[in-house]
Chains A and B, each alone.
Chain A
Amino acid sequence: MTALDFKGRAARAMHDPQLSAALLRVKSHFVTGRNMAAARFADFETLRDRAAAIRRRSIARMPDLLERFEASAEAAGAKVHWAADAAEARSIALGILKAAGAKTALKSKSMVTEEIELNAYLEAAGIQPIETDLGEYIVQLRGEKPSHIIAPAIHLSKQDVADTFRSHHTDLDPERDLSQRNTLVREARVKLRAAFLSADAGITGANMLVAETGSIVLVSNEGNIDLTATAPRLHVALVGIEKVVETWDEAGTILRVLARSATGQDMSSYVTCLTGVAGEGETGPKESHIILLDNGRSAVRDTDRREILACIRCGACLNHCPVYASIGGHAYGSIYPGPMGSVLSPAIDGLKAHADLPNASTLCGRCEEVCPVRIPLPKLLRHWREDGFARHLPPRGERVGLGLWSWMAGRPLAYGLSQRLARLGLRTLAWMQGGRVRRLPVVKGFTATRTIAPPKGGSFQARWKGPR
């Protein structure tokens, strides 16, 4: 997948009826869930304020907290590694797995491992990664990428899943009935149970690092993380350096906003807290490694986009985004889709690779309204747009258009005339096309998936000047 043809992918996505139906479900399911969960909590807005302050405080004190985390984790028996970029993180992970003689590695859903494309790298080195989150397992079998940060297989129907299982689980009766969701879930449970009990290593991400005890905190609903991180003899966690908080009290507050914002649950079904290695008489691995990944994060901390580091990956900004709702996750061409992805991806891969992303937003502000840690996503997107414009990255048509607009905006007479002409033009087009504008000249793409009502009344300028 390349980031170069964003428009093509977006257009294709908008004409995919199955995807549209799935995205409608995201909206009804996650949006309603989040709003109900927020309403059930006595004072959710104050809780969000606290969560926002906790994350900002953590970002401001990042170097101290990371060192404290490292000291506590190592005192408990884990080994902490630092990786400057994706390549270093991959090679550290592979080194650990090889040294332990691991041939198979369970994986729980982790955006960081997607970010560094760990699976392909391990496979090439002869180690078989097995995704254990149901959605990730399905997209792994299909050779696809996740399309939502917390619901990776959201773009697929149950028929797609049934077909995928039938073609991959060839040891099972080909005539079996896979028409029900619960039989699909049961089949994956049985298939993966065997893997849980035999794999050599478990690889996870982390939702938080708790500096005071050197613990990592993970959330899931399926229970796969608990097994991934405790059943095999070796555990490796890959975590972005921004995930650190200082105390359990802070972690508790973040967990309260996370599940409510993500799925509308008061608490994720499983919260897994891992500290060091298993001691005498304890179940669990005797060897545990935590790889702290920078990969552009420390650089973005030095810019006016640093607040994106406060992100707790709840997905609420995707679920509430009208652009995500019409194009889905894959069209973004980045493993982090939606508003948070459009701010984070250029920080990780460089703006050149994702020049379109800061523009893949209407700046309507819904994302900021629901973000549990109050990240001003539209403002951060605008900062990237300014950067891109200054570096001559937006498409030529837009540059010419914006240049023309700024010339006119400085000349009231010309501006007023152009506005009057545009209103007249739109009304004429609407009249010719049956009441609404269905096709525009020059910018045909704009009307490919929407129509415009003809402008009513005078211009904004006229109304501003007139009696108020």
Chain B
Amino acid sequence: MSSRAAILARLRAQASAGPSAAAQPPYRPTPVDDLGARLLERAKTVLATGEAVASLADIPAAVARYLASHELAAEAAVAADLAGLSWAASGICVLDAPSRRSVPASVAFAPAAIAETGSLMLTSREAPWANLLADTHFAVVRRGDILPSLEEAVGRIGGNRLPRSLHVVTGPSRTGDIEQTLELGAHGAVRLHIFVAP
């Protein structure tokens, strides 16, 4: 008998293996009026930063301000759907970002975000690597793509087929592995900045 058949047969023979508790009602966070504000407020508690912008056109200048205030070079890899913004006018040098390359900074849309936890959802459809490999990750999320909970974000992105990978990112990368003391930027972003756009 194959291990598959043996394991399933053994499990099935244990007819009394515990009472089957009733299905639980799904948890949903208490509704809030402004999901964008909630997202930014929650993101700050996990050491991300963020701001609401009036239009996508404001983003290059905001990126330039952020980089300058952190004394970082004025350069970033920019996702194709944001490349049309006036980066040069804001003094940002757009880096050519072949896949599998670490970049100092990256700007890209997050296809969904989760207000409850201040999280972004990245997926394999948009080649999430640049963002996972960048030291500074600028995520742009549209108000309409902010969902109250993880479950709703999975439902929105999944439709009838989930992407191969979903990356729910809550704050910058961190580790407490050395003496239980928090350090940011273990493998993923060292800094995470969120733009909530209309």
Flag whether B92 is at the interface (Cβ < 8 A).
no
Flag whether B8 is at the interface (Cβ < 8 A).
yes
In the complex, are the beta carbons of B180 and A154 less than 8 A apart?
A: yes
Query: How many A residues are at the interface, by size bracket?
Result: 35 or more
**Which residues of chain B are near A181, meaning CB under 8 Å?**
178-179, 181, 183
Flag whether A314 is at the interface (Cβ < 8 A).
no
Binds A, one of B57-65, B71-79, B81-89, B184-192: B184-192
Flag whether A114 is at the interface (Cβ < 8 A).
no
Flag whether A47 is at the interface (Cβ < 8 A).
yes
In the complex, are the beta carbons of B178 and A185 less than 8 A apart?
A: yes
Instruction: Give residues 136-161 of B contacting A (CB, 8 Å).
Output: 149-151, 154-155, 158, 161
Could you say which of A53, A252, A302 contacts B14, with CB atoms under 8 Å apart? A302
In the complex, are the beta carbons of A50 and B186 less than 8 A apart?
A: no
Flag whether B164 is at the interface (Cβ < 8 A).
yes
In the complex, are the beta carbons of A25 and B11 less than 8 A apart?
A: no
In the complex, are the beta carbons of A269 and B12 less than 8 A apart?
A: no
Nearest chain B CB to A27 CB, angstrom units: 10
Flag whether A306 is at the interface (Cβ < 8 A).
yes
In the complex, are the beta carbons of B164 and A278 less than 8 A apart?
A: yes
**Chain B proximity mask over A29-56: 1 for CB below 8 Å, otherwise 0:** 1000000000000100001001011101
In the complex, are the beta carbons of B165 and A57 less than 8 A apart?
A: no
Residue of A nearest to B169 (CB): A270
Flag whether A135 is at the interface (Cβ < 8 A).
yes
Nearest chain B CB to A423 CB, angstrom units: 43
Residue of B nearest to A159 (CB): B179
Nearest chain A CB to B140 CB, angstrom units: 19
Question: Please, how many angstroms separate the alpha-carbon atoms of A137 and B172 in the complex?
Answer: 20
Residue of B nearest to A53 (CB): B21
Question: Please, how many angstroms separate the alpha-carbon atoms of A161 and B45 in the complex?
Answer: 29
Binds B, one of A2-10, A82-90, A115-123, A352-360: A82-90
Binds B, one of A95-103, A166-174, A222-230, A400-408: A222-230
Residue of A nearest to B8 (CB): A63
Query: How many B residues are at the interface, by size bracket?
Result: 35 or more
Given A134-B178, A222-B186, A283-B127, are A273 and B24 also a contact pair (CB < 8 Å)?
A: no
In the complex, are the beta carbons of A227 and B132 less than 8 A apart?
A: yes
Question: Please, how many angstroms separate the alpha-carbon atoms of A213 and B165 in the complex?
Answer: 12
Question: Please, how many angstroms separate the alpha-carbon atoms of A13 and B173 in the complex?
Answer: 32
Instruction: Give residues 12-67 of B contacting A (CB, 8 Å).
Output: 12, 14, 17-27, 30, 42, 45-46
In the complex, are the beta carbons of B165 and A267 less than 8 A apart?
A: no
Flag whether A189 is at the interface (Cβ < 8 A).
yes
SS class, residues of chain B in contact with chain A:
loop
Could you say which of B30, B99, B180 contacts A151, with CB atoms under 8 Å apart? B180
Nearest chain A CB to B54 CB, angstrom units: 29
In the complex, are the beta carbons of A272 and B165 less than 8 A apart?
A: yes
Question: Please, how many angstroms separate the alpha-carbon atoms of A294 and B128 in the complex?
Answer: 34
In the complex, are the beta carbons of A57 and B22 less than 8 A apart?
A: yes
**Which residues of chain B are near A224, meaning CB under 8 Å?**
186-187
Residue of A nearest to B99 (CB): A283
Instruction: Give residues 161-194 of A contacting B (CB, 8 Å).
Output: 161, 181-182, 184-186, 188-189, 192-193
Given A25-B179, A47-B27, are A271 and B187 also a contact pair (CB < 8 Å)?
A: no
In the complex, are the beta carbons of A273 and B21 less than 8 A apart?
A: no
Given A25-B180, A60-B18, A226-B132, are A282 and B124 also a contact pair (CB < 8 Å)?
A: yes
Question: Please, how many angstroms separate the alpha-carbon atoms of A237 and B127 in the complex?
Answer: 21
**Which residues of chain A are near B46, meaning CB under 8 Å?**
265-267, 269
Could you say which of B8, B19, B168, B185 contacts A189, with CB atoms under 8 Å apart? B185
In the complex, are the beta carbons of B187 and A192 less than 8 A apart?
A: yes
In the complex, are the beta carbons of A132 and B187 less than 8 A apart?
A: yes
**Which residues of chain B are near A249, meaning CB under 8 Å?**
24, 26-27, 151
Residue of B nearest to A55 (CB): B21
Nearest chain A CB to B135 CB, angstrom units: 10
Question: Please, how many angstroms separate the alpha-carbon atoms of A275 and B127 in the complex?
Answer: 16
Flag whether B10 is at the interface (Cβ < 8 A).
yes
**Which residues of chain A are near B155, meaning CB under 8 Å?**
248
In the complex, are the beta carbons of B165 and A274 less than 8 A apart?
A: yes
In the complex, are the beta carbons of A270 and B178 less than 8 A apart?
A: no
**Which residues of chain B are near A387, meaning CB under 8 Å?**
none
In the complex, are the beta carbons of B24 and A284 less than 8 A apart?
A: no
**Which residues of chain A are near B187, meaning CB under 8 Å?**
132, 189, 192-193, 196, 222-224, 227
Flag whether B102 is at the interface (Cβ < 8 A).
yes
Nearest chain A CB to B84 CB, angstrom units: 21
In the complex, are the beta carbons of B151 and A248 less than 8 A apart?
A: yes
Interface centre among B23, B128, B175, B187 (most CB of A within 10 A): B187
Residue of B nearest to A278 (CB): B164
**Which residues of chain A are near B175, meaning CB under 8 Å?**
134-135, 185, 221-222
In the complex, are the beta carbons of B183 and A57 less than 8 A apart?
A: no
In the complex, are the beta carbons of A253 and B167 less than 8 A apart?
A: no
Flag whether B6 is at the interface (Cβ < 8 A).
yes
Flag whether B170 is at the interface (Cβ < 8 A).
yes
Residue of A nearest to B173 (CB): A223
Flag whether A428 is at the interface (Cβ < 8 A).
no
Interface residues of A (CB under 8 A from B): 22, 25-26, 29, 42, 47, 50, 52-54, 56-57, 59-63, 66-67, 76, 82-84, 88, 132-135, 138, 151-154, 156-158, 161, 181-182, 184-186, 188-189, 192-193, 196-197, 213, 215, 221-224, 226-227, 229-231, 241, 248-250, 252-253, 255-256, 263, 265-279, 281-285, 292, 294, 298-299, 301-302, 306-307
17 contacts between A and B (CB under 8 A): A57-B22, A63-B11, A153-B178, A156-B178, A181-B178, A181-B183, A248-B151, A266-B46, A267-B170, A269-B46, A271-B170, A272-B165, A272-B168, A283-B129, A283-B164, A301-B11, A307-B18
